[in-house]
């Protein structure tokens, strides 16, 4: 079982050879779960040797374009590819389903000749209910609600992932503000953490900034990989006690613990 970073950059990554920080979880039977599908997805998948035909399942954490902007491409490519397999399974919180269709996808996907399409035209939709967990083959995956952006004074739904494979417990924050108290249980229980990390000179206040992560306990930093960073010169993360910045195409093998170091 492997976790492959198709890219490790921020929403505005361009010109540095990196892509949006979408991931691919691949099991021993070549089932593939695409974790977020940003607008770079068709390029980042291709560069790692994959295509739309290799995506069995897709999980969407929230509705920003670097996490969901590639779904229109995936929907059309799989819909009009007559060779099986066809519809991918879409795993998404029930809090996001209506907004995904009405505000993100319907403008491009709704009209197909004489057919009025909906989300189920393109995907086998598996809504994740308020238990905030789903099963992907042998893996139980728990959603961790993150504090990323506000709509006026209401938090917009956004979810990280927490799961265990081969006795390695993994926490992927996806996008989040710095809320160590909120995530401390996940930080402590995880063997490996993949953390949203902004590296701009001026913090945006909607992502966790590198300078904030430096305040974490050294034991937490020691098991943390940083991703979703900005183009440009990066700090020396290993010197500062982290495992490092994830590189585009980097693969983590749950049956080879050395790949996480």
3-state secondary structure of 251: strand
Domain-located, residue 126: yes
Domain assignment of residue 35, given as a range: 2-255
- Round to whole Å and give the CA distance between 102 and 98: 6
CB within 8 A of 184, min separation 6: which ones? Answer: none
> What is the model's pLDDT at position 79?
93
> What is the model's pLDDT at position 66?
98
**Predicted structure pTM score:** 0.97
Tell me how many domains the chain contains.
1
> What is the model's pLDDT at position 113?
84
Domain-located, residue 40: yes
Domain-located, residue 47: yes
Pairing of strands 124-128, 150-151: unpaired
Helices (H) and strands (E) in the chain, counts: 9, 18
> What is the model's pLDDT at position 256?
96
Structure token digits, residue 211: 């300078």
Cα–Cα nearest to 210, from 5, 64, 10: 10
Domain-located, residue 129: yes
**Cβ–Cβ < 8 Å for 199, 193:** no
Domain-located, residue 155: yes
Give 252-261's long-range contacts (Cβ < 8 A, gap of 24+). Answer: 252/2, 252/3, 252/4, 252/192, 253/1, 253/2, 254/1, 254/2, 254/3, 254/165, 254/166, 254/168, 255/1, 255/166, 257/168, 260/168, 260/191, 260/192, 260/225
pLDDT in tens, the chain (261 residues): 999 999 999 999 988 899 999 999 999 999 999 999 999 999 999 999 999 999 999 999 999 999 999 999 999 999 999 887 779 999 999 999 999 999 999 999 999 887 889 999 999 999 999 999 999 999 999 999 999 999 999 999 999 999 999 999 999 999 999 999 999 999 999 999 999 999 999 999 999 999 999 999 999 999 999 999 999 999 999 999 999 999 999 999 999 999 999
Domain-located, residue 261: no
> What is the model's pLDDT at position 56?
95
- Round to whole Å and give the CA distance between 149 and 134: 24
Half-sphere exposure of residue 74, counting CA atoms within 13 Å on the CB side? 37
Q: Which residues pair with 67 in a beta bridge?
A: none
CATH number of the domain residue 161 falls in: 3.60.15.10
Domain-located, residue 260: no
Residue 20 to residues 154, 193, 239, Cα–Cα distance (Å): 26, 18, 25
């Amino acid at each position: 079982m492997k976790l492959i970073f198709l890219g490790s950059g921020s929403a505005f990554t361009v010109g540095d050879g990196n892509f949006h920080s979408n991931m691919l979880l691949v099991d021993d039977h070549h089932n593939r779960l695409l974790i977020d599908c940003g607008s770079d997805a068709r390029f980042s998948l291709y560069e790692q040797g994959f295509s739309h035909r290799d995506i069995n399942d897709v999980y969407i954490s929230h509705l920003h374009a670097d996490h969901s902007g590639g779904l229109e491409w995936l929907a059309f490519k799989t819909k009009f590819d007559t060779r099986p397999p066809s519809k991918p399974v879409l795993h998404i919180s029930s809090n996001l389903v209506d907004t995904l269709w009405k505000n993100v996808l319907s403008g491009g996907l709704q009209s197909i000749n004489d057919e009025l399409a909906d989300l189920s035209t393109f995907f086998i939709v598996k809504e994740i209910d308020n238990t905030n967990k789903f099963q992907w083959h042998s893996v139980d995956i728990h959603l961790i609600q993150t504090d990323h952006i506000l709509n006026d004074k209401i938090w917009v739904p956004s979810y990280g992932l927490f799961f265990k494979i081969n006795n390695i417990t993994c926490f992927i924050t996806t996008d989040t503000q710095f809320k160590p108290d909120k995530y401390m249980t996940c930080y402590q229980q995880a063997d490996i953490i993949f953390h949203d990390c902004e590296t701009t000179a001026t913090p945006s206040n909607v992502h966790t900034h590198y300078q904030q992560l430096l305040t974490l306990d050294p034991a937490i930093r020691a098991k943390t990989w940083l991703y979703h960073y900005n183009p440009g010169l990066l700090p020396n993360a290993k010197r500062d006690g982290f495992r490092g910045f994830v590189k585009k195409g980097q693969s983590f093998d749950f049956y080879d613990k050395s790949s996480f170091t």
